[in-house]
Amino acid sequence: MPCGWSLKATKARTSKLTSSGQPAQQLAILLQSQRIRLNSALLLAVSASLLFILQCYLLASLFAGWLITSQQGLPVNSDQLLNSLPWLVLCLLGRPALQYWREQLSLQASQHIRSSLRVQLLAKLADAGPAKNQYGNDGSLSSKLLEQVDALDGFISRYYVQRYLVLITPLLLVAATFVYSPLAAVILLITAPLVPLFMILLGNAAATASQRQLQQLSRMSGRFLDLVRGMATLQQLQATERAGQSVANAAGRYRDSSMNVLKLAFLSSAVLEFFSALAIALLALYLGLGLLGILPWAKEVIPVPYQGALFILLLAPEFYAPLRQLGSDYHAKAQAEAAIDGLSPILQRQAWQHPGTQQLTLNSAPDIELQQLHILTAGQRQRLAPVSLSINSGGRIALQGPSGCGKSSLLHALLGFVPYQGDILINRHPLTRLERNHWQQQLGYMAQYSSIAAASIAANLRLAAPDATDQQLITALQQVELWPLIQQLPLGLNTVLGERGRGLSGGQLQRLALAQLLLRDAKVWLLDEPTAHLDGATAYRLHQLIGTLSQGKTLIIVSHQLHGLGWLDNIMRLSNPAINPAVNPVEGAQYVQA
């Protein structure tokens, strides 16, 4: 039953300001679901810009009215102010209100996207099962799911709207300016495209530089973390002062290299500042000299009357404001792209759905037959060279082989997490025809690190068997020879273990895991190096115990060490597919008598 799958290789991220590579596309896909909220936010922001134009118009008219009246020596009364007051209040109070609602909508959108992304990522990880660790260890997976997903916030709640606003607002303002003075509009229009141009030029340089700086930062943090983690050793060696010097040097180097980058990076925002300030100054001079009628090319003529001049002058700062805001939100985009880049291997994992629907209830240990079982990695590399073997009902075998030869993958295929080629037959039923959940419930699985939570011993055992009575728990603990120890503890079964079972030794934890297995009464046991991290004597005793307890079960154990495993029916050696890619299926698996 061929279940081929493929996964596109992720392209290396290009960090150019203008690039619309993979991360950008993936971000766009993520935003799809919240488009209504985000577009409404954009609409509100545009309305706020329109209100701003109206506000400038009202103020310009008001001041122009006052200026002309006072110039003509007429008494200034408050009629004009009273007339425009309602509109002015609307603008002055309306803008902050629109801004507030825009933020609310963006924040809600961000919240929805992030929580649904987490659900999606967790589903992918559950799908991958034990293969989840190809995406990183648990610590880095959790920081991907938490911090990296949260790193998208700035992009969703600020950058997305700002990206459109940076085009729309200046165009609206230029249009408004054009009504009064085409030349002023031209000044604005000329300086505007220069800004993105400079930003691209400088931004590209700054982006590559900041990429390097990020690496440096992670090196510095790495050095710090590395030394702090080994503090006990450093104290022992009395080397803390030298190590502290090394921390200081690394931080100092980071500061100096950062400053070089920042000099460049801030230049792009300085360019923006410069254009914004220059345009205001230019406009003020042009309009002011024009009002005096002493422009070199238009003597004795007033090109823009006072009301229009003031209107334009009030608008001008706002022309550059969205660009400046975008500049400061740009790091939100870079952050989000880096984050989505880290998440994309998980997101792009192609869901492999175990196809079967048949329910096979095992009343006794089944026989298992592998026919030309062959597993490929996502990149179509061979993970497990074709293997054929059969285990009788109640047969117990070990798998051995160099690391990377696919021992664990074979177990993962049997668990139903990995697609494969060839056949796996359980009591002569193909595994892919069985319903996965139902099949998995009948399996006992144990890995190098046991599944022990920071909870009481009883709660840990009941994770595996929720309905077990205290007596059943005690029986299981007696079988794994832990009861004498636990009995002595003041709280007995209710003794609370620390994180990852702290309080018990490695061997004791694996015994507890065996008790979990016994409580499940599974007919098939799949054990993936259960003793790898234990010392020889403890491993030996655990192996013996497994031998005693697994009688009558069909069992496959992956193990480097063989002592204590005399009870096995067979030992199978797998060869490494990477070393011998064109492996002959017959040579790929050979039986060795135990």
Q: Is 105 in the site for other proteins (CB under 8 A)?
A: no
- Provide the CA 164 distance to its chain's centre, in angstroms: 25
- What minimum distance in Å lies between the beta carbon of 19 and other proteins? 26
Q: In whole angstroms, how close is the CB of 61 to other proteins at the nearest point?
A: 12
Beta bridge partners of 456: 496
**Interatomic CA distance for residues 128 and 412, integer angstroms:** 10
- Three-state DSSP at 386 gives strand
Cα-based distances in Å from 499 to 32, 132, 458, 477, 590:
39, 21, 15, 21, 42
List the interface residues with other proteins, window 487-516 (CB under 8 A). 489, 495, 498-500, 502-508, 516
CB of 270 to other proteins, least distance (A): 4
Write down the least CB distance from residue 402 to other proteins, Å.
14
Considering only residues 189 to 228 of the shown chain, the ones binding other proteins according to CB under 8 A are 219, 221-228
Residue 247 interacting with other proteins (CB under 8 A): yes
298 lines the binding site for other proteins (CB under 8 A): no
Smallest distance, other proteins to C-beta of residue 121, A = 11
Among 35, 229, 381, 563, binds other proteins (CB under 8 A): 229
Interactions with other proteins, residue window 309-368 (CB under 8 A): 309-310, 313-314, 317
Among 168, 201, 205, 251, contact with other proteins (rule: CB under 8 A): 251
Pairing between β-strand 554-558 and β-strand 524-528 as defined by DSSP bridges? parallel
Q: Show contacts with other proteins in window 410-429 (CB under 8 A).
A: 415, 417
Q: Give the separation between CA 452 and CA 456, rounded to whole angstroms.
A: 10
From residue 233, alpha-carbon distances to 228, 238, 239, 251 in Å are: 10, 8, 9, 22
Q: Whole-number minimum distance, CB 586 to other proteins, in Å?
A: 32
Stretch that binds other proteins, among 3-11, 192-200, 378-386, 443-451 (CB under 8 A): 443-451
Give which of 438, 293, 288 is closest to 362, Cα–Cα. 438
For the chain, count helices (H), then strands (E). Answer: 19, 12
Closest residue by Cα to residue 10 from 347, 364, 404, 494: 347
Q: How far is the CB of 533 from other proteins (least distance, A)?
A: 9
- Please tell me whether residue 227 adopts helix, strand or coil conformation: helix
Considering the complex, what minimum distance in angstroms separates the CB of residue 362 from other proteins? 14
Closest CB to other proteins among 185 and 310? Answer: 310
Among 25, 35, 134, 138, binds other proteins (CB under 8 A): 138
DSSP 8-class letter at 529: S
Indicate the residue among 435 and 569 with the shorter CB distance to other proteins. Answer: 435
Nearer to other proteins, 32 or 79 (CB): 79
Express the helix, strand and coil content of the chain in percent, nearest 5 each. 65, 10, 25
Question: Which residue, among 94, 95, 113, 147, has the nearest Cα to 38 in the 3D structure?
Answer: 113
Nearest residue to 349 (alpha-carbon basis) of 8, 3, 2:
8
Is residue 220 classed exposed, middle or buried when 0-12, 13-18 and 19+ CB atoms within 10 A define those classes? buried
Residue 291 Cβ vs other proteins, minimum distance, rounded to whole Å: 4
Surface-to-core class of residue 242, CB atoms within 10 Å of its CB (0-12 exposed, 13-18 middle, 19+ buried): exposed
**Dihedral of alpha carbons 61, 62, 65, 71, sign:** negative
- Chosen residue from 242, 331, 381, 563 binding other proteins by CB under 8 A: 242
The amino acid at residue 284 is A
The two tokens of residue 451 are 């599944």
- Least separation in angstroms between residue 543's CB and other proteins is 13
- Binding piece for other proteins, criterion CB under 8 A, among 22-30, 203-211, 256-264, 330-338: 256-264
DSSP 358: B
Whichever of 138 and 587 has its CB closer to other proteins, that residue is 138
Q: Which of residues 515-554 bind other proteins (CB under 8 A)?
A: 516, 520, 534-538, 541
Residues 63-102 that bind other proteins (CB under 8 A): 63, 66-68, 70-71, 75-78, 81, 85, 88-89, 92-93, 95-97, 99-100
Q: How many residues bind other proteins (CB under 8 A)?
A: 147
Residues 9-38 that bind other proteins (CB under 8 A): none
- Which listed range, 13-21, 229-237, 377-385, 572-580, lies at the site for other proteins (CB under 8 A)? 229-237
CB of 498 or CB of 566, closer to other proteins: 498
For 504, residues 6+ apart whose C-beta sits below 8 A from its C-beta are: 452, 497, 512
Q: Which of 18, 25, 115, 359 binds other proteins (CB under 8 A)?
A: 115
State the Cα–Cα distance between residues 394 and 408, nearest whole angstrom. Answer: 21
Binding status of residue 285 toward other proteins by CB under 8 A: yes
d(CA 57, CA 177): 11
Which is closer to other proteins, CB of 20 or CB of 68?
Answer: 68
Q: How far is the CB of 147 from other proteins (least distance, A)?
A: 9
Do 577 and 382 touch, CB atoms closer than 8 A?
yes
Nearest to 120 by CA among 412, 354, 344, 353: 344
Q: Which is nearer to other proteins, 150 or 470 (by Cβ)?
A: 150
- Between residues 111 and 211, which has the closer beta carbon with respect to other proteins? 111
Among the candidate windows 2-10, 286-294, 367-375, 567-575, which touches other proteins by CB under 8 A? Answer: 286-294
